[in-house]
Amino acid sequence: MNHQIHDVRQSDAWAEYLTEIGWKTVTTSFGVKIFFRPSIFGSLVKIQRTTPLNEEHIKEIEETCLSKRAMFIKIEPGYGQDIGILENMGYKTSLFPMVPATTIFIDLTLSEGELWNNVSKSGKYSIKRAEREGAKVEVYTNPGDKEFDIYYAILKETGTLKKFYVPPIKQLKKMRKSFGDKGHLAIVYEKDGSPAGAKYFIGSEDNALYVNGGTSGQGRNTKAGYALLWKSILFLKNAGYNLLDLEGKDDPRFPSFTKNWEGFSYFKEKFGGEEIEFPYPHVKYYSPIIKSMVALTGMDI
pLDDT at 1 over 70: no
Does residue 259 share a domain with residue 246?
Answer: yes
Does residue 270 share a domain with residue 138?
Answer: yes
Q: How many folded domains does the chain comprise?
A: 2
Higher-pLDDT residue of 258 and 28 is 28
Its domain, for residue 251, covers 102-277
Does residue 284 share a domain with residue 270?
Answer: no
**Contacts of 42 by beta carbon, 8 Å cutoff, 6+ apart:** 69, 70, 71, 286, 287
Query: What's the whole-number average pLDDT of the chain?
Result: 95
Residue 3 is predicted with a pLDDT of 59
Handedness of CA 64, 69, 73, 79 (dihedral sign): negative
Does residue 192 share a domain with residue 112?
Answer: yes
User: What φ, ψ does residue 198 adopt, rounded to 5°?
Assistant: -150, 150
- pLDDT above 70 covers a percentage of the chain that reads 99
Q: Which residues of 240-274 are buried (b: 16+ CB within 10 A; e: fewer)?
A: ebbbbbbbbbbbeebeebbeebeebbebbbbbbbe
Does residue 194 share a domain with residue 70?
Answer: no
Residue 4 is predicted with a pLDDT of 65
According to DSSP H, which parts of the chain are helical? 12-20, 55-67, 83-88, 112-118, 121-132, 145-162, 169-179, 224-238, 262-269, 288-297
pLDDT at 80 over 90: yes
Contact 205, 195 (CB under 8 A): no
Asked whether residue 252 is assigned to any structural domain, the reply reads yes
- pLDDT above 90 covers a percentage of the chain that reads 88
Contact 249, 104 (CB under 8 A): yes
Residue 2 is predicted with a pLDDT of 63
Does residue 213 share a domain with residue 117?
Answer: yes
pLDDT at 94 over 80: yes
Residue 209 is predicted with a pLDDT of 98
25 forms beta bridges with 35
Does residue 77 share a domain with residue 150?
Answer: no
pLDDT digits (tens, 9 = 90+) for 17-47: 999 999 999 999 999 999 999 999 999 999 9
Residue 156 is predicted with a pLDDT of 98
Mean pLDDT confidence for 263-287: 95
In whole angstroms, what is the distance from residue 53 CA to residue 186 CA?
A: 35
Does residue 248 share a domain with residue 107?
Answer: yes
Residue 82 is predicted with a pLDDT of 98
DSSP one-letter code for 133: T
Distances (CA, A) of 65 to 24, 33, 213: 12, 11, 34
**Contacts of 136 by beta carbon, 8 Å cutoff, 6+ apart:** 188, 189, 191
Asked whether residue 3 is assigned to any structural domain, the reply reads no
Q: Which of 100, 79, 113 is nearest to 272 (CA)?
A: 113
Mean pLDDT confidence for 126-138: 98
Q: Which residues of 7-43 are buried (b: 16+ CB within 10 A; e: fewer)?
A: bbbbbebbbbbbeeeebeebebeeebbbbbeeeeebb
Asked whether residue 2 is assigned to any structural domain, the reply reads no
CATH number at residue 178: 3.40.630.30
Mean pLDDT confidence for 81-89: 98
DSSP β-ladder status, 195-204 and 183-189: antiparallel
DSSP three-state, residue 93: strand
Residue 289 is predicted with a pLDDT of 83
| DSSP assignments along 174-240, one per residue | HHHHHHGGGEEEEEEE-TTS-EEEEEEEEEETTEEEEEEEEE-TTGGGSSHHHHHHHHHHHHHHHTT
pLDDT digits (tens, 9 = 90+) for 134-191: 999 999 999 999 999 999 999 999 999 988 999 999 999 999 999 999 999 999 999 9
**Contacts of 149 by beta carbon, 8 Å cutoff, 6+ apart:** 169
Residue 297 is predicted with a pLDDT of 83
In whole angstroms, what is the distance from residue 23 CA to residue 14 CA?
A: 11
Provide the edge-to-edge strand list for the sheet that holds 274-277.
136-141, 183-189, 195-204, 207-215, 243-245, 102-107, 274-277
pLDDT at 126 over 80: yes
Does residue 249 share a domain with residue 107?
Answer: yes
